[in-house]
Structures are given as C-alpha cells and as structure tokens.
Structure 1
Amino acid sequence: MPEVPETPAPALRSSEPHPLDGLTGGAFSAATSGERAARIRDWLAGQPAPEQLQEVFKDLSQRDKGAARLVRERLDEIKRARGQEAIAAEWAAKAEALLAAPKLNIADAMAWQRDAARAGAPLSREPLADFKTRLAERVKVIEDLQHRVQVQREAAVLLAQRIEVLSTKPWSDARDAVDTLRADVQHWQDQAGEIAGDANWGSVDARFAPMLDASRTQLLAVWDAFQSAVAQAQAAATDPAAPLPPVPVWAEALRLARGEPAQAEADKAAPAAKAAPAVDPAVREQARAAVQEALERLEAETAAGHGKASADAAAALRAVLKEHGRHIDTALEHKVNGALVAAGELEGWQRWGADQVRAELVAKAEALLKRPEGQALGGRKMQETLRQLRDMWKQADHGGAPNHALWKRFDEACTEAHKVVEAWLDKIKTEAAEHKAQRVALIDEVKAWGLAHTASLDWKSQYRALQQFAARWREGGHVSEKVFAELQPLWKAALDAAAVPLETAQKSSLERRHAMIAEAVQLGAAPSLRIDAVKALQQRWQAEAQAVPLDRRQEQKLWDAFRKPIDDAFNRKSAEREQSAVALGARDRAVLEAAKALEAANASGDMQRIRAAMAALDAAVRSRDEEQKQAPAQVDTAVTAIDSGAETGAAGNADTQAAASSESADDGAADPAPAEAAAPKPAPRPVVAVRGDDRPGMRREAPAAPGRGGRPGERRDSRDGRDMRGPRGEGRFGGDRFGDRAPREDRGPRLGDTAFRAQRDALEHAQATLRKLAAQAHGEALTQLLAAWEKRDAALVPSVQELGGRVSPAVRGAWVQAVGAAPAGDAAQALLRLEMAAELPTPAEHLDARRALQLHLLTRRNDPAPAQTWGQDAARVLAAASDPGSARRLQGVLKVLLRA
C-alpha cells in the first residue's frame, strides 16, 4: 500500500516581541508584574529621555498599572523640575536686578528670599543658592557699615569729651596731649572717609549719612577750638602782652605767672557803679500795675493746679519783668519771686506726673515686643494698640515739658512693633489684589456661563449654578471699598444677564402656580371632595415645582396657599366623619365597654382575668343585629364575672396561676372562652354529593377536606382561613353551586372606626401582656428547679403545669427522683447532649469533648438524637452534684428547650 505522508504537528505560535522591549530591557515580555517592575526600575536608572518615557507610559499603562506608576512618577518629577526651573529663572532675574541696582534696600533683599520660598522656588539649588548667598553677604556688608557709623559717632563723642576734660587741667597738660589728640582725630577722619567711600555706602539707610556728617562737624569744631586755645596759651606764656586764652583755667594760671592779681580781686577793686538816675512816678506806677496783673494771673493758675496754664502765666510774668522789673519796689519783687517759685514747683510736679505716664507708656510699648508667640498680637490689633499708645503720649506732652530720652525709647519700641503692622499691611495688600483678580475672573466666568446656557431648559441646574456663583461672590474675600464699588455694578450686570432665561421661566411658573391655587380653592369649596382631582392637581404642582425652582421662602408661601383649601376640605370631611362616629350604636358601645374592661384586666396582670376579658370582647364583636340590645347587659355580666374571677384568682394558690401561665406559653392551648359568650354558628347545609378520597389510608365514603376556596389572589379571613366573600358562586347565583363547602361564618355588622380601633388596641395589649406573664412564669419555674437541685430538695421541683407542655409527668418524675437522691455520676456528657439538643454554643474549655461526642454519635446511627432524649439527659445532670458552671449551662439549655 502506498505510504501515507505524516501530517506535521502544528507549530506553536510564538508571540512576537514588543517594539519597546529593546528599549526597556524586556519589560513588556516579562512573565510577572514584579519582574516587569524590576526591569522598568533598571531602565529608569539610565535616565531615559522624556519622549521615551511618555511613549513607554502610554503603552505600559494599559498592561500593568503598577509598573506604569514608576514611569508616571518619573514624568511627574521631570515636570516638577521644569516648573521649578522656570520659577528659579524668574527669581534669579529678580535677584540680578537687586544686585545690579546701585542702592540695595535691606527689606527688599529679605523680601526676595521670603517671597521666593512662598512661591516654591528651589533656594537650595543653583543658581538661586548663589544669589541667596550674594544677597546675604551684601546685606551683611550694609549692616556692618551702619554699625561702623554708630561706632564712629560714639568715638567722636569720646574724643570731644577728652578735649573738654583737658580744658579743666593745666594748659601744659593740654600742650603735651596735642600730638596724641591730633593722631586720634586724623585716624577718626580716615575711618569716616573709608566708610563714606565704600561701594555700598549708597545702600545704607538715609539716617546714617547725616549722623556721620554731624559727628565729623562737631568733632572738627571742638578740635579747631582746642588747637587755637593751646596756641594762644603758648603765645601768652612767652609774650606778656599777648592776649590770654579763652579757657578760664588756663587764663587764671597765666595771669598768676605774670604776677597780675586774680580776676576776683580785680572785680572788687573796680569802682562802684554810678547811681541810677531818678525814675518818673507815672512810669513806676505803670510798671507796678503791669507786674501786679501778671502776678495775679499766675497765682490764680497755680492755685487751680493748671500745669500748662501756670507755665504760660509764669512765662508772661517773666516777660513783663524784663520790661518793667527795674521800676518795681522790693516788696513786689519778693512777691513775684515767691509766685515764680510756686509755679516752678507746680510745673515740676506736672513734669514728674507726665514722666510717670510716659514711663508706663514706654513699658507698654516695649512689652509688645516681648509677648510669647502664642499671645502675639495680630496686625490690626497691633495697629490699634500703637495708635492708642501714641495718642496717649500726645496727651502726656500736653500736660508738661517733653522728655526726649523717654520719647526716644518709646519711638524705637513703637517702630520695632510697627514691623508687624507693615507685614500685615503687605499681606492685606497682596490678598486684596488676589481677591480682586478672583472677582474679575468670576465676573468673566458668569458672562461665559450665561452665553453657553442661553438655550438650556434645565432650570434646576441653572438655579443651582446661579446660587453657587452668588455664594462664591460673597466668599470672594475682602477688597477695599473703592474696588468693591467698581466691581459690584459689573457683577450685578453679569449676573442679571445670565439669569434672564431663568427669571422668564420663573415668571411663567408663577402664573401657572397661581392658576393651580385658584383651582385648589374651587376644589376645596365644592360640596363633595373629589379625591382623584385633588391627586391630579397635587401631581401637577409637584411636577411644576421640580421643573422650575423658586426662592425657598416664596415657594413655601405658594405651597401653603395651595395646600390650605385642600387641607380645610379634608379637615371638614374628618370633622363630619367624627360627628357621625359620635353617635355610636348599641353594638359599638358594647365593644368599647369590653375593650375598656380588657385594658383594666391588662393593668391587673392576672392571666385568667385577661383571658376572660378577651372572651367577653370577642363575644361583643361577634354579636349580631338582633343581639345589639342585649350586648351592654352581656358586657356588664362579663365584667362582673371578670372581677369576681380576679378576686378568686387572687385568693387562690400559686399553682393555679402557674397553670394558667403554662397554658398561655403552650402554643397548642385553646382559649377558655365561655360557650355562652360566643355567637351560635349556623347549622351546616346537608351534604348532597361527596367526592371520594382516593388517598392511601382514607375511607371512600368520607368526604374530602375542603380545598382553598375562591379564585387565586382572593383575600382570606385572618382567623379561619376562608374567603371573606364565601365560596365560589355564593352571592352570584344565590347559593353554593356544588354544596360541598361550609358556609361562611357571619361576623356581624361592620364596627365603627372608634370601636374598631379600641378593640384592636386592647387585643394587642392583652396579647403582649400574656406573653410577658408567660415568660415570667417560665423563668420562675426554671429558677425554682435550679434551687431544688442545689438544695437536693425534691419538694421544690415545680409541677408539670408550671414547667409547661414540653415536660411530661414521666420526665418530671425522673427529675424529682434525681433531685431527691444523693449526688452521683458525671454530668459532663449529659450537658453536652443538652447543648446539642438546644443548639447552643459550648464553653471553650469543653469544645474538644463536644467534638468527640459528635464523632461518637455519628457511629451510633440507631441511637436516639439528643433532641429526643433531652428529658433523660436533664435527669442525669440533676442527679449529679450542683456547681455554678453546670447550673449556668443547664439554665441556658432549659430556657430554650422548655419554650421550644
């Protein structure tokens, strides 16, 4: 046979390499995400170009987000670096401008560093680091020059003091010190010239240049006078005819060296002055009157204690004395001198008081600089405080002569504290500019928004957007009154233009809402209230309110006006219904009386009384029309029986109460309603034909149980499960179509609203009270059983009625026998079986034993389950010794099993 060629196996399709694998070192072909991230890190270590990074990120972000994050971080870093480079270039240009300026202001240099740091400029990197260092050095040089000026001023003062001290010593000492002083003065002039010739002298504060010039002028004046006096003293020492120097000490020494008398003896030897010529009496009287008038004014001001006025009066008196003092007598002159002394004392006291006030103000001004950081004053508060301090200083100056030393300290402290105000003002100015720019941008944004939403019909979003614009304008920050007056008209015009479509829609909506309000008034005034028309009108109002929003207050007022006529109509209808309900029938009154009796029984807490009251209420509800007249008498009889039953139950023993409790706890227990209280049921109709029951074990002649009557979806009665409208065909054709269904029980006529609500609430309260009493009885029985086990007293074991329907007499007998006998056996396994029967968790220390028991039970299939033998297991536990742990576990188990 011919050979069949072998079919080659299909080759495995090999994936083509990614175009970027060669660039990234095989990152796209990596098997795992971790390997891909490692290769991307190795590739990033080579500092790839931004274009390559962008290309790799674009493709890698769709494959691996984790690896793409590394590329994105590198792109963000490059972006930040570029942004910082632009900022660095901007601030470098500003620094170059500051350094190139012939005069550098220290505040501008410090502000450059502060503002650059706020703008995020990289001050720690080049070139800004170099500019920062150069500016700092320049500022340091300028501050050093200012400090040297102050040192030179103090040196000039010290040189002048040395020259003045030499004027009090012999002129020979001054002659010997001339050369030393000349060298010192020349050295001072050289240093001053060096300071003034410095390249940064123009950047020094303006107050330092006059300070240096004044010191130079004063020193040179004192030095020239000293040199002239020394030269004159040398000439007078060598030539007796030469004039004496103007220095008193030197002149006196030279006069004694010449042999001339002293100046005091020369004055004594001088001839007496010639007698003054006679004065005209009229002139003398005029001078006396002028001085007397000025004197009286001074005395009055001094007595009043007016410091400033007394100083003015004293000055006026001195002026009068200069003119007329030589013409007054001695008595008036003494009186004038006394008044001037008194005025001087008052002026001194005023000056002292003013100095005390000034010292206090200086202390306050200096304390502003020493406040801790947490208590530092803000800009506005500091400005107000400084203004108050300066006003108080002016008031102190009005009361006395100025004190320049205190004023210097006060002014320096206020100037230093004012730096805080200056920084705050700069901040306010910057923020005001930013706020103005934001408001202008907001106006432009509103204009653009208005043009973009001219044709939009989404009024809700437009109203919300306009409200947000208004809120942003209110929160736009503080601007000056002038700027606000300029921007406010522009803002109102832009907002009004943007709100024109919305306002038009709101106007139309208002007209429609007023029409709906008028329609609501008509509906409310109609004799019969049309519910369908009211619902339709309310739906129209809701649709209109959701479509076009209005101001909240206006919309609330319109809604109140729309709702009022409808609410009035419903209130009128409710009032009519209540009026009709007031006239209760005999049956409704009987139901109300029975409900009140049941509420009273609920309050008593007697279970038998509550059940009797429930039966009486059920009898009153089921009473028929012909029995309505006898219903009040039946209710009274039931109430009397309830009261007598309550008294009998209260006088009875506790077993009867516990039995009633156990009956309420048992779900299968029947209500002990009296037979005579229930309405008689109608006789069932005779069975004409039956359908045989062909189920296994059923008799053929027995009729089948009735099925669910009615059509699917029909409502059944909540008590008997039958259709409230009767079997199929009943009422439609006048009777049962087949005759195989029981007739519907007639429950009597419909109750009124008040009676129905009263009986419903009373029944709900009664059922809740019965459940509560049953739980209490169950808890008491369980507690009594545990006490009997602990005391080993069989007489304390509760009865079968107290324990409930879950415990049979045989089980109770086993419990009584176990409790009465001596403790024997181990209850561990029995407790585990009880917990398994009750499906309760086992304590952690017994979990291993429970698992072992469960495995053992799986091997014993024919043994009864723990849920079937829990009575015997409880007897085993009661036969063992009692301990707190076992008692707690047994209580939890029986609490579930006795109520299951």
Structure 2
Amino acid sequence: MFPFFSRSKMSEAPEVNPAPAKTHEPHPLDALTGGAFSAATSGERASRIREWLTTQPAPEQLQEVFKELSGRDKGAARAVRERLDEIRRAKGQEAIAAEWADKAQALLSASKLNIADALAWQRDAAKAGAPLSREPLSLLKVQIADRVKVIEDLQHRVQVQREAAVLLAQRIEVLSTKSWRDAQAALELLRADVARWQEQAQGLTSDASWVSVEARFPQQLESSKAQLLVVWEAFQPALAQAVAAAEDVNAPLPPVPVWADELRVARGLPSEAAAAAAKSARPAKPKVDPEVRDKAVQAVREALATLEKETAEGHGKASAGAAAALRAVLKTQGKHIDAALEQQVHSALVAAGELEGWQRWSADQVREDLVAKAEGLLNRPEGQALGGRKMQETLRQLREQWKQTDQGGAPNHALWKKFDEACNAAHKVVEAWLDKIRSEAAEHKAQRLALIEEVKAWAKEHAASGDWKGIHRALYQFGDRWRESGHVGEKLFAELQPLWKQAIAVAAAPLEAAQKESLARRHAMIEEAAALGAAAVLRIDAVKSLQQRWQAEAQSVPLDRKQEQKLWDAFRKPIDEAFNRKSAERERATTELSARDRVVLEASKALEAANASGDAQQIRAAMQALEAALRGQALAAQAVAESEADSEKSQAVSAQDATETVASEQPSDASGETAAPAPAAPKPAARPVVAVRGDDRPGMKKDAPAVAGRGARPGDRRDGRPGDRDGSRGPRADGRFGDRNDRGGRFGDRPEREDRGPRLGDTAFRAQRDAMEHAQQTLKKLAAQAHGEALTHLLTAWEKRDATQLPSAQDLGGRVSASVRAAWAQALSAAPKGDAAEALLRLEIAAEVPTPAEHIAARRMLQLQLLTRRNDPSPAQTWGDDTARVLSSASDAGSARRLQNVLKTLLRK
C-alpha cells in the first residue's frame, strides 16, 4: 500500500514531520565472517567467505553460517557446504580408520598370523574407503607387510633347506660310488655341511614367526631332515668300517661294493678272479624274462631322460624331484639293467648335484635384468613414455617376477635394494596419475549431482505435460548423459546411484502411468483382434479400423522397443492367421490336382529324371511324353467325338442292313416300284491345318509355298517389280482389289480352334515349365559337349592322318553335308600336300574370328583381293572346301588351334 499525502509533490513548502530514514542494522554473523552478510555483491560475499574459511572455523560456526547464508546466496554458501562435507567425510574416515586400526592390531597381536588374512585386511580396508596413506593405518600397513614378509621369507628358507638336504644326500651317494679314500678326504667338509644344515633348520624352527608358517612347510622340513640323517648315519659307519679294513686285513669289508672291491684288490686278491670264483661257487642266477628286462630298462630310461631334460634346462626344483624319482626306480628296477645304463644313471645324478651353483648364478642374472628394466622405466624416450595405468601394471609384473625369482634361489639383498629404489622412483608417475584420477572423480561427482538436480527440476516442470513422446525422449537423453558423466569409484557410485534412481523414477512416473493405461488398451485390442481372426467370415473393414486404432495408440504413447514389438506380434498374429487361412483355402481350391494335372506332374518328374541321367535320347523321349500329356485333354475330347461318330455310323449301317433285308423278302415285281433309300454320305475327314503361305501369283499353285525373294525392300512387289505390294490381287466386285470369296468368305474357311481343355493348375504348370527349361538347357549342354568332342576327334584325325577317326556327319552337325565330309575324309587319307595359309585366312574371314598378329597383313591383302573377285563365291560359301584344303596339308600346333577356333563357329551357324 502506498500512503497518500495532502501535500502536492510539486509544492515547495517544507514537509512537516518527515519520516526518518531506514537504517540497516549489521548482521550478528558479520563480525564472525568479516562482513560477508553485509557485502553488496555476491562475488564480494563469496570472497569474504573464502577468506573466513582460511581461519579454520569450528564446525558449529560453519553450520550456523551455512544455515543463514544458504537462504540468501547459494553460490557463496557452496564453499561452506563443501567444507562441512569435508569435515563430515573426515569424521567418517576417522571412524573407519579406527575400526580398521583395531582389526590390524588384532592381527599383529595374534601369535599366529595368516598371510591370507593379512592380505585381505589391506584389500578390504581399501574397498571400505579407509585412509591407508594416513596415520595410524599407514604404519600398521607397513608392520603387517613386514610381518608377512618375515613369514614368506621363512617359507622360502624352508624350501631352500629342502633343496640343500637333497643335494647333501646326492653328494653322499656320489661318494659311495668313488674310492673310499675320496670319501675319507671329504668327510670333515661333509660333516661340517651336515652340521650347518641342522643348525639352519633349528634356527628356522626357533623363529618367533614359525607358528605362522603354513602347515605343509614344517612337514617338508622334517621329512628332508629325516632323509638326510638316514643317509648320513649309514655313510659314517660304512666309511669307518672301510678305514678299519684298510688297516687290518682281517677286518670285515664295508657294505659299499665299490669300497669292498678296492680293499679286496689292496689285499692282493684279484677282484675279477674272486668274482669268477664266487660266481662258479654260487648257483647261477635264474634267467630274467626278456619282457621284464625290457620294461625295467624302459622305466629307467624314461626317468633318466626326465632328469637330463630338467638338468639341461636348469630347473633346480624339478631336477631334484627327477633325481628322487630316478633313485626310486633304481631301487626296484636297478637289478635288471646293464652296466652301461647304470653308469649313465650315476653321471646324470652327479650333474644334477652340480646344478645348485648354476641356479644361483642364473637367479642373479634374472635379478640384474629386472633391475635394468625397472631403471629403464623412467629413461624411455618421450614418445614411448608409459602412462599411469601401464606403469602400474608394469611395476606389478616386475615385482611379481622378482618374487618368483626369490622362490627359485637364495635372495640377493644388494640387488633388491637397487630394484626397490628404481620401482619407487617410477611409482611417482603412478601417484601423479592417481591424483589426476581423484580430481577427475571429484569433477564427475559434481556433474552427476548437477544432473540429478536438473532431473528433479525438469520433473516438476513437466509433471502435467501430455507429450509422452517428448518425455520419453528426454528421459532417454538423461540416461545417456548419466552414463557419459565420467568414471567414479565404486563406493561413490553406490552412493549416487540410489539418488539418481529416485530422481529418474519421479520424472518417469507420469509416463509409466500413461504406459500402463496404454498397455491395458492394447491388450483389449489384441483380444478384439483374436475375436476377429476367429470369426467365420473375416471382416476386412473391421480389421482396417482396428489397425488404425493400434497405430494411433502406438504413436501417442511410446513403449520400450522390445515390449512394443512383442505386443505388435501378439496383435498381428490372429489377423495374419486368418488371412493365411483364407489364402490357404483359396490355394487349396486352386491347387487341387485333376487327373490331367497328375499326368503332367508325373511326366514332369520323368523329364527331370531324364535330365539327371544326361542321356539326350531319354530327354527327348521324356519331352515328347510331357508334350503328349499336355495335349491329353484335347486328345481325350477328340476320342470322345470319334467314338460318337463311330456309334452313329454303326447305327446307320445297321439300319441299311435292315432295309436290305426287308427288300429281299418282298416280291420281285415290287422291287422296281420301291427304291431303296440312298446310304448316308460319310462325313468328310477334317483336313490338317498346315501353316504354309500359298503362292497366289498368276500361273502358280496356291497350295505351294511362295519362295521369298532375295533383296526385297519394303513396298516392293513379291515378284521383284516395284509398285504394288501384292500384284496378284485383282479388282474385287465391290471395286476394291482382291476377291475375299477366294479366301472363303468374310473370315475364311478357317478350321475350328483346337480344344485344349481346362487350364493346368499352378503346381502342374510350374512343374512342366521348369522341367522343359531344364531339359532344353541340358540338351544345349550335351550338344556343346558333343560339338567339342567332334572337334577334338577331327583334329586328332588330322594330326594322325587317319580318316577312320573322322567324326560322322551326325556328330559334325547339319552344317556338314555328306559330300563335304567325304571331301574331308579323302583329304585325310592322302599324304599331306600344299600350303593351307590362304585357306585358313578364308576360314577366319568366313567365321569372323580374329587372326593371329603375324598373319593380319596377309588377311588384309586377301580381303582386298576378294573385293576384286566379284563373281567368285564368298569364303562363307566355300568354307567346307577350304577346310578340306587345310586337312590335306600337314598338321601343326598353330594351324590346329586356328582351325579349332574357326570350326567352333562355323559348325554351329
């Protein structure tokens, strides 16, 4: 309301009791925010809010300022809201960090740490969003990783000890195959190695983390220890016994065969004689079955080949296993092999024992290669620098390869330090890439939140709209924009996805309601279509009206494409079935085979079978049979007519006979008075109609065909004289030329058209048409084949000068008369003579085929000569004689090729 004053606005008198000016009181939060609420513009207000946020205000103050400012300036309040969100996320992360810190402390405080649980802790903490890069989780993560590394190192050392035990056992076995003095010299070193192995094994079991090692590793260590001690405890007494036997000749020999033979020789006993004497004294060994011996040799050779392969490839673990397998085979099959194979087996076992040193060297070579690859990650050219994801995958692969290398040999800490430093330097690229991904994720989150707000605003604006197509299109566009809003993390996507679904569901609610109503109407139309299709009489007008209603419904309310297609198929199915039923009834009525159709079908099938046989005579006979079947109806009608004529004739003959009988019985004087009735004249037979043009010129017979004049032009008379087109026509009675009476009246005495009977059905008509077409094609193909064979036989006869091989006149075709073939045969029977160059040129001119390049000049010369010989026959008329001239000459490859090209054309014309 505006107050009205009695004083005029134009009056100069001073106003009495003027209203006091309105004063703006400062906002209570201006002092806190540095005057943000009293700022004149939105930009100044946002600037003061950002300056105030640098002072790190308390969360309560932030909440109070946001509550007051969000109603005045949402743009300036956005920064406060973001700070509140950060504080809220930080509190959430602190709670998550405390939870996962407690879990990590529980893992570390446990006496037995499961490696799988430790690795799962880091993975699950990262999935839960715990800040692993901050304290205390970063320290706990390092502690868990160190603990896992210690356990893995213990397990690796167990495997190394296991391999060392196998190698020590192999050394002891190898010493048992050498001189006892070598074994005595290596006894102290071997004793020290065995003692060191036992100390290392005891150190493993006394480690504090030994309880966390997997259950299979203690069992492996105990098994290796037991096997080594068994071999070592058997080796020491045997060596002591050998030393005692060397000092005292009466002492018993050691149980090792090699040492016993050596001591026996040292005592002066020939070992071979002793062996022979022992062999003669002992009963002979039973002969071994050859099959058993072959199996034993095969088993030993297979195990030996496996050991040699693993040793050659440098597989330390595999070679140890192969050596153990070979020794197991020797225990059962060693007595059946010969000395050469046994020596080969011992050599392979020694080589496998020497593989340990090479394995260490090979592992160091692999480590140095990995160090070089890690150092080269940052020294690549600019165009070949690796991206963040590729760098991350490469570092992961390099560390996995290093881990596998440590499992196959002793660790090298110096190379590990260099490798780790190079990987950490290269990991900075990965960190920068991860930071970029985080920033992009923040942007994508903002885009998605803005899109959700836009969908909500759009839903309010179009809540009452009836443009369902536009709404459907807009919803699809919103969906595309949501899918193209960039990548976000799984946790963030799980938070945003429910908000998006809720917003899009509200926006799509009116359309879904309209679609539900449209579905009800469409189902009703489907039922109506089913009723129309089931009716006895199909109403086309009702079907058209129903289809128009369906189209109008489909254009007004859109549905999902697949659902709409299914509904359309359900709507169209009963109508299509009704139309198909109607068409089937119509076709059934038109395709019912008559007797004539069956005959034509059988004849068509017979013709198709003849086409498949490839016999020209059968095909022609089948074609004649099919033509006879096609004329069967007219022939049947003709047969009926003839039968009726015969019956009439027989009745007339019987009547005449009766009359003659009566006349003979009458008196003779009455014979002259009563004349016998004259017999009925027989019906003249119908003359066959021949399509022949009669020669109606004066003095010519009309039933003789007219000879067509050569060189006639349009408008010339048929007798060769220009002028009247038909000079035979004279003036008619009505003043016009020609006498129509000569041609049998107005329309002439034309014979009646042949009665061909009813038309064939569609099936029979198509069958006979296809069979005829196939037959004609087959006959053409067979004729071409016969033509080619005839040409081949003709050229062969020319080459061999053998007239008996000349094809018959029937094979050569109608173009070759008997006299021409006789001339060809006579030319082939005689000795070659003359030159066929000009004859070949004449033949090529007659056939109009190209001439080889070297004879083109001669052909042009011959053509010029032919122009001067006007009365001579043309080459097209004398090609038979020219061919005989060619055949009388000598045959060569070029002339044969030219003759073949010519006759291909001439014999077909």
Q: Same fold (TM over 0.5)?
A: no
Please state which band the TM-score falls in when normalised by the shorter chain. Answer: 0.3 to 0.5
TM-score, with normalisation over the residues of structure 1? 0.40
